[in-house]
Amino acid sequence: MEADENRELLERLLATSDAPCPSCEYNLRGLKGQHCPECNQRLVLRVGLAEPRLGAFVTGLVGIAAGLGFCGLLGIYFLVYLIHRNFQFAGPGAAIVPLPIGTTLCGGLLWWWIDRRGWLGRKERGPRWAITAAVFAVSLVCPLAFTVLIR
Ligand SMILES: [Zn+2]
């Protein structure tokens, strides 16, 4: 949209309507120009969703972030621990193996999940939540493996 066209449409819309600034919530009714008079941020007209369906996407994001955080932080902890102990570990060595795998897996999954957000949004409700559940489950495999192996 051209800048002048955006300005004209914005002014026409706000001439008779109340609308809060998305940044500072200042009422923009009667706005002249394209900048909020309160916070001076530039404003644009956009098409928005009445009710964005973000539940599945956010649920998947939480699962992936939990797996990444668990494996990543414990991986760093064990790396520091091993460096201080000259790489001597009294516990089961196999328990540490899921940590770098989980960090890599969840890191890749996080990138993929964010990249595929539009693809997920186009799915019907059933498949969308089935994919989300699968991603959530995959994200927790390495933290669970670590928990079982460390005993
Ligand atoms: Zn503002």
42 with 63, same domain: the answer is no
Report the DSSP beta bridge partners of residue 35: 42
Distance from residue 6's CA to the centre of ligand 1 (Å): 17
For residue 91, the model assigns a pLDDT of 79
Residue of 93 and 8 predicted with greater confidence: 8
The range of the structural domain enclosing residue 21 comes to 1-47
Ligand 1 centroid to Cα of residue 17, in Å, is: 16
CA dist., res. 101 & res. 72, Å (int): 10
Does 139 lie in the same domain as 78?
A: yes
Supply the pLDDT for residue 1.
60
Portion of the chain with pLDDT greater than 70, in percent: 99
In this structure, the answer to whether residues 19 and 59 fall within a common structural domain is no
pTM of the predicted model, to two decimals? Answer: 0.74
Q: Output the CA 29–ligand 1 centroid distance in Å.
A: 12
- Give the distance (Å) from ligand 1 centre to CA of residue 57: 29
What average pLDDT does this structure show over 88-111?
Answer: 91
CA of 117 to the centre of ligand 1 (A): 29
In the chain, the number of structural domains is 2
70 and 133 in a single domain? The answer is yes
**15 plus 66 within the same structural domain:** no
Task: Tell me: do 36 and 66 sit in the same domain.
Answer: no
Same domain (yes/no): 80, 34? no
> Residue 101: is its pLDDT beyond 90?
yes
For residue 87, the model assigns a pLDDT of 86
Boundary residue ending a domain (47, 65, 84): 47
